[in-house]
Every structure is written in C-alpha cells, then in structure tokens.
Amino acid sequence: MSLTQKTFVPYTETTENAREIVEKYQQMVYGLALSRAGNKFDADDIFQEVFLIYFSKDRAFREDEHKKAWLIKTTLNCCKRALGSTWRKKTTSFDDRPELSYSFTSKEENEVFAALRELPEKYRTVLHLFYFEDFPTEKIARILGISGANVRMRLKRGRDLMREKLKGEYEI
C-alpha cells in the first residue's frame, strides 16, 4: 500500500454503543444547539433530534472528522427547522423564562453568553465553531458551505459586535 492511498473504514453504529457516541459528541452538538437556539428548552429538543436522526440508519463515515462534520451540519439543519418556523416567529419566545435559559457558573460566562445570543445567527455560528470547537476557518467554510474569506469576515464582524456589546471590557 502506498503512503498516499487512503483506506476508508466505515463506522457503523448500533444502539449498543449509543451512549458512547452521545457522550463523545454531546458537548459539540448541544453547545452548537444552545448557541443557535439561545435557550435550554429548544437546545434539548434539537440535541435529541440530531441523535435520533443519527441512529435512524446505519451510517458510514470515512473518518471521525467526517462524522463530526455530519453531526454539525445536521445540528444546523435541525436548528433551522426548529427555530425558523412561522409558528415560532408568531409566538412569544421562551428565552426570557429563567428556568429555560442556560446558566453558567461565573458571571463573566453568563455575560459573554448573553452577548453571543444577541448576535445575528451567521456570526454566532461562526464564532461558536471557531472558539468552542477550535475549528480552523477553512473547515468552518466547508461545513457551512461558504468561502473561507466569508468565514473570516464573519469572524471579524462577530468579534467586533461582541466587543461592542460587552462595552470593551473583554479582549478577544
């Protein structure tokens, strides 16, 4: 086998190792859902839906990164479905209900999360993938289907907006 030849070992998941899979990716899926939804109520639903879709068929992935990309894309799609409906736009948001908002341990974390929640969706997603998942911009571009330059532009504008919302108290 030459060094450049790739071997694809398909991952096949069964319900037996469902817990293992969920534990491994829960932070990524739930974090993204929470970032997009802004409240615990919807994030819980989206989190469950993503993994239910995941386990609904035998899926084959080329590699672990491929699986992560699938989970992120599916999470984003589920967020769009869950958060973009007219029903939702016509009803009162649950975000303000204290028992449904997500609470972090420190004041700074809650301040940053509140500022993040207020950002337009496109900046929020890019910031989340960059800072929470440590993804390079080119990878974010592939996941979101936009150009790398576009990702970097969104990062810059997102950071600027964060600074503005946090009144310059934070360095980013």
Partner 1 sequence: MKNMNDIFKSMRESINPDDNVKEKLYRKIERGEIPMNKPAPKILKWLPLMTAACMLIVATAVFLPMFGALREQLPPEGGNIDYLNEPNFTGAVVSVYENGGILIKTEAGNPYPDSTLITSSVIAGDEFFVGDIVTVYYDGMLMESYPVQIRTPHAIELISRDRRHGDYYADEWVFDAYETHYLNTPDWAETFVWTNGQVSAVYGNDEQFLFSTNGIIGGIFVADLTGDGKIDFIYLYFDGSYEYIMLYDYVNDTSYSIMNIKDTYRLSLDNGKIMVNETTVLSFMGGRLVTAVTEEEVPPPNSEPVISEPMYFVERNENAASEEFYPEIFLYPEGFFTFNVNLWEGLSKVHGTYERVENAYVFTVTYRDFAGFTGDDVEEFKMHLMLGADALVYEGAQIGMTEDGAVFYMSEMPSVSYLHKFIMALPSGDSDSVAVVHDTRVMERYEAAKLAELTVDIVNLLDGNVMYMSSSWLDPWADLYGGRKLESINQIDIIYMYKGDGGAVFQVIAHCEFDIDDGRNEVGIEYTIVDIGGGGATGNLEWQVLDIYFVK
Q: Which residues of this protein are in contact with partner 1, per CB under 8 A?
A: 8, 10, 15, 18-19, 22, 26-27, 30-31, 34, 43-45, 47-49, 51-53, 55-62, 66, 69-70, 73-74, 77, 80-82, 84-87, 89-92, 102, 104-106, 108-109, 112-113, 131-132, 141-142, 144-147, 150, 162, 166, 169-172
Q: What amino acid occupies position 80?
A: K
Helix axis angle, 40-54 relative to 64-83, nearest 10°?
130
Look up residue 91 and give its two tokens.
């009803």
Cβ count near 28 (within 10 Å): 17
Closer Cβ to partner 1, 2 or 145, answer by number: 145
In the complex, the smallest distance separating the C-beta of residue 125 from partner 1, rounded to whole angstroms, is: 11
Residue 63: closest CA among 139, 118, 10: 10
Closer Cβ to partner 1, 85 or 156, answer by number: 85
126 contacts 161 by C-beta, under 8 angstroms: no
In the complex, the smallest distance separating the C-beta of residue 9 from partner 1, rounded to whole angstroms, is: 8
Q: What's the Cα-to-Cα distance from 142 to each of 70, 98, 102, 151, rounded to whole Å?
A: 11, 36, 29, 10
In the complex, the smallest distance separating the C-beta of residue 126 from partner 1, rounded to whole angstroms, is: 12
Closer Cβ to partner 1, 118 or 147, answer by number: 147
In the complex, the smallest distance separating the C-beta of residue 135 from partner 1, rounded to whole angstroms, is: 12
